[in-house]
Structure 1
Amino acid sequence: MPQPIASFSSNRPIAIFSDFDGTIFLQDTGHILFDHHGCGPERRAFLDESISTGENTFRKASLELWQSLRVPLDTAFATLKEHLVVDPGFHDFLNNFAFDRRIPFVVISAGLRPLLRRVLDESVGKAKSRSIGIVSNDGVISADGANWTPVWLHDTELTHDKARSIREYRVRHAKANPLIVFIGDGVSDLAGASQADVLFARRGLKLEQYCIKNGIPYTPYDSFTDIQRELEILVVSNRFHSAAQTPAEAAADGPVKAML
């Protein structure tokens, strides 16, 4: 079901929440590491399927997957650097839209923060990476890589309840009443998508299939270029993010400052 983006209020500050694996990057960081340095692709595929069929919980399967790794962090990152491909429109979206229009951009993920931050540091540079928020699970990794211990953000079967994280963000910024944009691709994004005002689902993947099946309004995308084109409609006359703002007007935007 298409969502009428033009109908959303232009008088609310915007905040963007984006999944990481399969969204910003076209591959899954965990899958790459499990296949090369952990349980291997066959066991990983079996555990993924067991989650889909309900035979296993996401938390239990994820714990086995992360604990199967036997690789130092530097080597793990080198493997990711070799195999990860960034969405072709992401850098332009981040630099010439989100940063340029002073729109908070937050990575929301069930992955591990040390990996996510390091990949972002490499992809966009450390200075710009610091301007990207990360809400995710964490991890304790021994120096020799023999022990990977995930630290779940929430004590739930989801390990990170993305819906809860977005609700908490709304509460913290209730006075600003932000318009929440959510960008995702898969099953792990369903909870976060439920809290979005504006939802983008990668075309042909499970999040889009779920939206179609359940009549949930969304906009399909093939790359961040598509998302940027759609969101430009929201910021044309938005007093918080309009390119027509004077420096003084931009400096006076307290709600956006508080959200950054």
Structure 2
Amino acid sequence: MILECSQCGSRYEVPDSAIGPDGRTVRCANCKHSWFQSGASPAPAAPPPAPAAALAPEPEPAPLPPRSFAAAEPVPEPSYDPFDEPAPKQRSGIRWTIAALVALVSVLLGGAALLYWKAPQVLTQLGLPIGGANAQLVFSEKNVALQARTDGSKLFIVSGKVLNDSATAQHVPDIRIQLLDGERREVYSWRITPPVRTLEPKAGFDFNGAKVDVPSGAKSVKLSFVSEFDG
């Protein structure tokens, strides 16, 4: 039993037997206040447990009626031409988008491989001639990349370096980037204005150009020089 003084709030833990069922007068050892403490009321006896009800036996399940089985009919052999091509399966929107993206990346990687060689004569054989106003200017360190933007569009980037491979200063025209299909026809093109118009001997500069959502039919990339005065 816990006793608490109403004057100073001191608390004491005493056994129930020290108070008794009839109670008694106690005094606080801290402030000397006295009061009558009633005894603890006996806890009510727990009721006896109710007898468990007898479980009724579960009824037996009714027998199932006999089933009649119809005679199995032979399945006819399918009639088809073994050399006939099956109809193409319908692709879901997500699979079609992924397949188109993979195809576009393959095209861009192929374009990057075509732009990798630095020798002018190899570029000419591959259909990537320097051409234009000055054959002394050489493209090098070319690179093609495809980047996904946050709005879901694709950014097509072409970068590289222009070198003056001659012993004299050269005029630098605009740089034209052409995307060609499998039959070498142009599907898209744009121009890059060089940072300088006069390039000293053995000097060079970096360039880069980017476009959003270029046509997906491109199979190769061609770089060339074009006069800044041409339309």
TM over 0.5: no
From the CA coordinates, give the structure whose radius of gyration is larger: 2
TM-score range relative to shorter protein: under 0.3
Greater helix share, structure number: 1
Greater strand share, structure number: 2
Structure with larger RCO (C-alpha < 8 A, sep 6+): 1
